[in-house]
Amino acid sequence: MDDMTLRAERLCAETTEDIVVFAIGMRINRFWKLWKWLPVAREMPKMLKEQEADPSIGLLSTRFMFGFRNIGVLQLWRSTDDLNAYAHSTGRLHLDAWKRFNARIGTSGDVGIWHETYSVPKKGIESIFVNMPPYGLGVAGELCPARGDRASAAKRLQRRSGGS
């Protein structure tokens, strides 16, 4: 989905619409119970492949996040309606994966899962990318040179909110 060509310059991203930030992941609570957390970890790559194969579902960008016990994904979506439609669709992988998690893990404490959803109005969106390939908002929106009224975070936010 992403063009990984390095852009050796100072850029910001602009979007014409509101955007949804969706963070989702799992926490391995009991490392020794490989048979519990490994199947959970294997679900996400399949869902991501499904999401990236169909741009019409509204996914704009995906990035992995890794920590000692945590594996997560940060996504940008076109709307909460698109995100919810994917999550609840009987023709997609997520709903069955969620049912399997509840049947196999439930509230046993072996594996934790989490998600957070933020609906962000376009006037509150600001970004900077220096010496980066298109990333995050730079994939979801349009990359622009970060100079003039786009030179600082304060100026970019002021510009977006229509202030002077």
What are the residues facing 23 on neighbouring strands? 74, 116
pLDDT at 85 (0 to 100): 95
162/83: higher pLDDT: 83
- With beta carbons less than 8 A apart as the criterion, state whether 88 and 95 touch: yes
Amino acid at 128: I
pLDDT at 159 (0 to 100): 85
Q: Give the span between the Cα atoms of 25 and 40, in whole angstroms.
A: 10
Mean pLDDT along residues 80-109: 93
Amino acid at 8: A
Q: Which range among 9-13, 20-24, 41-45, 148-152 has the greatest average pLDDT?
A: 20-24
Q: Give the span between the Cα atoms of 107 and 101, in whole angstroms.
A: 10
The token duo for 38 is 């490994």
pLDDT at 41 (0 to 100): 85
- How many CB atoms lie under 10 A from the CB of residue 15? 18
pLDDT at 163 (0 to 100): 62
Mean pLDDT along residues 111-119: 95
At residue 3 the predicted structure's pLDDT band, cuts being 50, 70 and 90, is low
Q: Give the span between the Cα atoms of 88 and 98, in whole angstroms.
A: 10
Would you say residue 2 has pLDDT above 60? no
The token duo for 24 is 């989702």
| Cβ-Cβ contacts under 8 Å for 17 (sequence gap 6 or more) | 78, 122
At residue 139 the predicted structure's pLDDT band, cuts being 50, 70 and 90, is confident
pLDDT at 1 (0 to 100): 44
- How many CB atoms lie under 10 A from the CB of residue 54? 11
**Average pLDDT of every residue of the chain:** 90
Helix (H, G, I), strand (E, B) or coil at 33: coil
Mean pLDDT along residues 58-82: 94
